[in-house]
Structure 1
């Protein structure tokens, strides 16, 4: 397997994993915690409640876009500040994921994976990967 093919498959694997996880986390905010509950959680962190709604929406659209492979570099860059915000919200909890109320390590890892995805692009089977045939000069 050549290195370009390996990179395309690695980008695909990362993109699908991120897409599934973002979709799951957005649906959790919407259906388990509920949007008002998510907003209240954001308020408890000292953030505006409306940011909970925005976060759930961005994660939902971002997860779907990642799964489909639509504008992957841009989607990863849009999601990145949300993970940096989550990381800063968890700074006082300590480093580890197992810390009470979760540490900043988990969102930091997500931020790194988003940065990598933005550099790699969508990889194999991304909808944006299909290119229209070029017109041949006569």
Structure 2
């Protein structure tokens, strides 16, 4: 049975963890890899290079929105799809992310965590509650 007193705080924790992860990944693509470098990496793995730019914007924006609690279920649902698509690059590399070129368990875990957050809802301490999915 879910504890109704603590569940909103668990959602908040999941929201903060995923938001921080998205923010870190987006900022890494923007500042360390650079957008042009990220576009090149996307092309090397079979994605169109131009997708790097909206992905960088989405990851940074989604990170901020999740941390602040803005339309959480909707942002998390989109994040789930984005991460599942990103996971396809790693499917042939095996399970462990420590494998050469990275395995698929980390992006799939993040995708399913985003799905869980989308299903759970906004949680507590939100700036903008969303309508239910």
Q: TM-score, normalised by structure 2?
A: 0.92
Once the two structures are TM-superposed, the CA of residue 128 in structure 1 deviates from its matched residue by 2.6
Counterpart of 1:85 in structure 2 is 85
Which residue of 2 is the match for residue 135 of structure 1? Answer: none
Task: Give the alignment of 1:4-83 within 5 angstroms.
Answer: 4-83=4-83
In 1, Cα distance between equivalents of 2:57 and 2:41: 16
Shift of 1:65: 0.3
Give the alignment's TM-score, normalised by structure 1: 0.89
Tell me, in whole angstroms, the C-alpha distance in 1 between the residues paired with 2:122 and 2:28.
Answer: 25
Q: Distance in 2 between matches of 1:62 and 1:5?
A: 27
Aligned residues: 128
Write the distance in 2 (CA, Å) between the matches of 1:91 and 1:50. 22
Q: List alignment gaps of at least 5 residues for structure 2.
A: none
How well do the aligned residues superpose, as a CA RMSD in angstroms? 1.1
Match of 1:132 in 2: none
1:118-137 alignment, distance < 5 Å: 118-129=118-129
* Runs of 4+ displaced beyond 2 Å: none
1:133 alignment partner in structure 2:
none
